[in-house]
Structure 1
Amino acid sequence: MAENRASAYREGVPCWLDAQLADVAAGERFYGELFGWTFKEAYGPSVWARLDGEPVAALGRKTDGRMPTVWTVYFATPDAEGLADRIWAAGGQVVTAPMPVGDLGVAALATDPEGAVFGLWQPDRHLGFGRRHEPGTFAWAELYARDTEAANTFYGDLFHDALFGPDADPDFGRAPVSDVFPAEMPPHFLVHFGVADCAAALGTVNRLGGRVQAGPFDTSYGTVGVVTDNQGASFAVLQR
């Protein structure tokens, strides 16, 4: 199904999310109750989550039990192949080379020089989020890095206009791993979903079999709680 948005997101803007889970049906029950998502359509190995009819994320089934149970943020690009080349040149790695996802777009997975994993999305029929920046949708992505200055240089060079341009509206920040996690935690992106009440959302996570890892705590962009779902995928809830 084609998505009716006016235009694709500019390069470097988070435009899509997916979770790799062992049990997609259990994920549907967990996130459906937590965020009010509905699940009606499967696209290949993934099922799309919608809020009020608009796409907000995808849940995919892990094809290998050794794969991590994780949420991945995808950054928009008009040229996944070209961006992959720039990632290599800047010291990152391309884990999964750009490949078509039917007629929806082209996807790839990459890491920055410290090993934090992120996705690339070159849109075709699927432009990205139908809704964001509201309860039950993508709100923010925080990169927890060991060297935030090096991270600023890497992502600033890749996505300069999105982060620092005259019309910049950045949807991700950079912070030291040790701000929230043990120092031995690998660098990673933490996806944040908007909620109306952070404390209430943490209570719901616990009731549904998830676990609260940290928070709630105050940040420059809102009140945050860091959690895992009932299968171990980490994410955050954000009350603006």
Structure 2
Amino acid sequence: MTDLNGKFFWYELMTSDPQAAIAFYGDIVGWTAQPFGGERTDDPYHVVSGSAGPMGGIMSIPAEAKDRGMSPWWGGYVGSADVDADAKRLAGAGGSVKRAPEDIPGVGRFAVMSDPGGAAFMLLKGSSPDGMEPAPPMANGHVGWHELYSGAFDADLAFYTGQFGWAKGEAMDMGEMGSYQLVSQTGGTDFQSMTGGIMARPPEVPVPVWLFYFVVPDIDIATEKVKAGGGTVLNGPMEVPGGAWIIQATDPQGAMFALVGMRSGTA
């Protein structure tokens, strides 16, 4: 069983229109969606699955969060062996507890955190002893890359490498935009082991945030589907090291996301 502690393993969209989001992403990314536990309520939590199985969920923005002005947002869950202890440890290392640890019946124990620069993420320990196996690299519909638009580059890099054991790879010079630091959640230091990158937040991104890249089989087809479905392409398609292509976009409700895939004839 793969150790998920300190690694992103579940991704969740809180949105103003779950049914519209399910249709939008289902068309582009190919997800299937099922109400959690088969529940039949007016506003269920939907589990979404890629080619290798469940990878995340889509839900309505909770009323208390909506009252605080929360906008549609993709968040990521990091595995934890002890949510209470990890929340305390991470707060002592420069992070912040945004929602104290509590139980989700039938799911596990979680807490909402932020890193030193202000980007939010969640901790989660599942209630079942049966863990999830990670999807194969670049499996369709799963997350192929994790990117932090950091509010405090040096502090955030030290936070994730020091507290989660992530390894640093190459630091790529982006000129006026600073460095793009490759990181690996699995501890490897070669390029093939890299699972994400950390960069200073660009001016056009309003707040520090984690951006998740969903894998698609053809980036050009997916890009056209984003536009046709009412989303907005912010950047790309752009080629990245390794031969893949990426876009960054917002969905029709305003949540930021990204796609990664090959071009026809380049796979």
Per the shorter chain, which TM-score range? 0.7 to 0.9
Q: d(CA) in 2 for partners of 1:218 and 1:142?
A: 16
1:159 aligns with 2:164: yes
Moved more, 17-26 or 141-150: 141-150
Distance verdict in 2 for CA 1:137–1:129, change over 3 Å: farther
1:16/1:56 contact within 8 Å kept: yes
Question: Counterpart of 2:93?
Answer: 90
1:135 aligns with 2:149: no
Question: Counterpart of 2:195?
Answer: 171
1:123: Cα distance to partner? 2.2
Question: Counterpart of 2:177?
Answer: none
Question: Counterpart of 1:22?
Answer: 16
1:59 aligns with 2:53: no
1:80: Cα distance to partner? 1.1
1:59 is matched by which residue type in structure 2?
I
Q: Find the residue that maps to 1:60 and give its secondary structure.
A: strand
2:259 is matched by which residue type in structure 1?
V
2:10/2:56 contact within 8 Å kept: yes
2:208 is matched by which residue type in structure 1?
P
Q: d(CA) in 1 for partners of 2:159 and 2:46?
A: 32
Distance verdict in 2 for CA 1:8–1:123, change over 3 Å: farther
Distance verdict in 2 for CA 1:214–1:107, change over 3 Å: same
Q: Find the residue that maps to 2:36 and give its secondary structure.
A: strand
1:106 aligns with 2:109: yes
1:73: Cα distance to partner? 1.0
Give unpaired runs (5+ residues) of structure 2. Answer: 168-183, 263-267
2:49 is matched by which residue type in structure 1?
R
Using structure 2 for the length normalisation, give the TM-score.
Answer: 0.78
Q: Find the residue that maps to 1:134 and give its secondary structure.
A: coil
Equivalent residues, number: 231
2:247/2:258 contact within 8 Å kept: yes
Q: Which has the larger radius of gyration?
A: 2
Distance verdict in 2 for CA 1:9–1:123, change over 3 Å: farther
2:52/2:135 contact within 8 Å kept: no
1:30/1:208 contact within 8 Å kept: yes
Identity of aligned residues (%): 27
Distance verdict in 2 for CA 1:104–1:141, change over 3 Å: same
Q: d(CA) in 1 for partners of 2:187 and 2:206?
A: 35
Question: Counterpart of 1:229?
Answer: 251
2:118/2:208 contact within 8 Å kept: yes
Q: d(CA) in 2 for partners of 1:139 and 1:29?
A: 21
Distance verdict in 2 for CA 1:223–1:41, change over 3 Å: same
Q: d(CA) in 2 for partners of 1:94 and 1:111?
A: 7
Question: Counterpart of 1:37?
Answer: 31
Q: Find the residue that maps to 2:131 and give its secondary structure.
A: coil
1:13/1:170 contact within 8 Å kept: no
Q: d(CA) in 1 for partners of 2:257 and 2:160?
A: 21
1:205 is matched by which residue type in structure 2?
V
Report the RMSD for the aligned CA atoms in angstroms.
2.4
1:172: Cα distance to partner? 2.7
1:183-206 CA distance string (max 9 Å, x none) = x63211101101122222111101
1:71 aligns with 2:74: yes
1:197-239 CA distance string (max 9 Å, x none) = 2222111101011110111223346421001111111100012
